[in-house]
Amino acid sequence: MNTTTITYQCPNCGAGLAFDAEKQKFACEFCLSEFTEDEAKAANPEEDTAARERAEQEYNAAMNEYECPSCGAHVVSDENTAASFCYYCHNPVVLVGRLSGQMRPHKIIPFKYDKAEAEKRFLKFAKKKWFIPRDFFADSQVEKITGVYYPFWVTDADTEGSMHAHATRTRVWRVGNTEYTETSNFKIHRSGDIHFEDITTSALSEADKRMLEGILPYPSEALEDFSMPYLSGFQAKKRDIERAQLTDEVRGRMKNYASQLLRGTVHGYSSVTVQETEVNVQKSHWEYSLMPIWVLNYKGRNGKNYTYAMNGHTGKVYGELPISMAKLGLLLAAVAVPLTALFTVIGGALF
C-alpha cells in the first residue's frame, strides 16, 4: 500500500523526509537537504477531511504492532523501524500485525535529544551514584536505551465553576478582667468562567505511572501537529485508554483546581471551609498526543526491573536504581576494619 500521503517528501528529490532530533529539522538521507516543519508542510500541503481519513487508515497500515511474550508489553513502530527486542525487559518481541481502529495521533512533541546525547546523560547520571552494579552502565546495557513515544490525552475546556463555603470571623476583646469572644458566621459563594489548557493525562492503564510522573511536565508550546516522519527511528506505546474512560478523572482534576482557584479569592476571614465545588463543562477539546521518553531498563539479580527514563524534550530524569551488594559489602568491610582496630586499642587502654 502506498503511504506517501502521510510521509513528508523532499521537495528537491522526492524521497521521504525523517525528523532529526539533534537539528530539530526534517532531513533527506538521499540529497542531504534539510527543512523546517513549515517548509516541509509547504511542500506537502494538507488535503481535505477525506484525505485525513485516508491518512488514518494508511497510518494504521504502515505501523507494526509488537508484543513481548515475556512481560506482555505492546509497542508499535513504523515499517522502517522494526522492534527487535522489548525495551522494557529486553526479551525478543513477536510481530502481532497491523494496527486497527483510529490510532493516529493528533499531536506530538518531537524528540529534542538524540540517542548519543541520551546515552551521555545516562552515563553522567549513573556514574555519580554509589553502589550501582557495574553492568548497569556497561556498553551492552547502555546501547539498549530506546526512544519511545508514550501516549497521552491532552484536554482543553471552557467551564463555569462555582464554590460554596462556610467562613468565620472572630473578634476578641477584654473589659476589665473579663475576656469576650464574638464569632460571626458567613456563607460564601464564588463563581466564574474558567478555561483549562492542556490537561495532560496518560493513555496507558499499565504500571508506568511513577515513571511518567517522574519526568513530567512537557511544555504545551512544544506540541506539533502529528506527522509520520517524527516516528522514524523510534518506537511508540499503543494507547489502551480511550478518552471516554478518562472523563471522570479529568473532570475531578478540573474540580480540584477550580476549588483552589475560587478559594484563593476569599480573604479577610478567620477560617474558611469549602463545602461544595461544581464545574460545568461548556466546551471541551481532546487530542491524542505522543510524548518522547528515552527509556533504559535493567533486570537486577533479584528479578526486579529497574527503570531509568529521560524526558526526550526537557531532559528531566527519573531513575530507579539497583544496588550492588558486593560494592556495599566492600564499603562495610572497609569501615569495619578500622573500627575494630579502634575498639581494640580503646579496650586495651581501659584494661
Does 57 map to a domain? Answer: yes
Does 76 map to a domain? Answer: yes
CA distance 33 to 26: 8
Does 344 map to a domain? Answer: no
Tally of domains within the chain: 2
Does 313 map to a domain? Answer: yes
Whether residue 146 is found in the same domain as residue 271: no
Query: Which residue reads 473532570 in cell numbers?
Result: 251
Instruction: Answer whether residue 348 shows pLDDT above 60.
Output: no
Whether residue 319 is found in the same domain as residue 188: no
Whole-angstrom Cα Rg for the chain: 28
Does 350 map to a domain? Answer: no
Confidence grade of residue 78 (pLDDT, cut at 50, 70, 90): confident
Whether residue 140 is found in the same domain as residue 124: yes
Q: What is the pLDDT of residue 324?
A: 47
Highest-confidence segment of 42-51, 90-99, 227-236: 227-236
Q: Give the 3-state secondary structure percentages of the chain, helix then strand then coil, rounded to 5.
A: 30, 35, 35
CA distance 46 to 37: 13
Whether residue 81 is found in the same domain as residue 24: yes
Q: What is the pLDDT of residue 5?
A: 34
Helix (H, G, I), strand (E, B) or coil at 327: helix
Whether residue 90 is found in the same domain as residue 40: yes
Query: Which residue reads 523532499 in cell numbers?
Result: 10
Whether residue 210 is found in the same domain as residue 272: no
Q: What is the pLDDT of residue 310?
A: 95
Mean local confidence (pLDDT), 258-276: 94
* Residue 4, all three cell numbers: 506517501
Whether residue 69 is found in the same domain as residue 183: no
Domain that holds residue 271: 158-194+254-284
Whether residue 18 is found in the same domain as residue 82: yes
- What tens digit of pLDDT does each residue of 17-37 get? 778 888 888 887 656 788 887
Mean local confidence (pLDDT), 191-220: 87
Whether residue 276 is found in the same domain as residue 216: no
Q: What is the pLDDT of residue 331?
A: 44
Cα dihedral 198, 202, 208, 209 in deg (nearest 10): 60
Look at 162 and 238; give whichever has higher pLDDT: 162
Does 245 map to a domain? Answer: no
Look at 70 and 345; give whichever has higher pLDDT: 70
Confidence grade of residue 4 (pLDDT, cut at 50, 70, 90): very low
Does 343 map to a domain? Answer: no
Whether residue 55 is found in the same domain as residue 121: yes
- What tens digit of pLDDT does each residue of 169-203 get? 999 999 999 999 999 999 999 999 999 999 999 99
Does 351 map to a domain? Answer: no
Whether residue 71 is found in the same domain as residue 179: no
Please tell me whether the overall predicted TM-score, pTM, comes out greater than 0.75 for this model: no
Whether residue 141 is found in the same domain as residue 17: yes
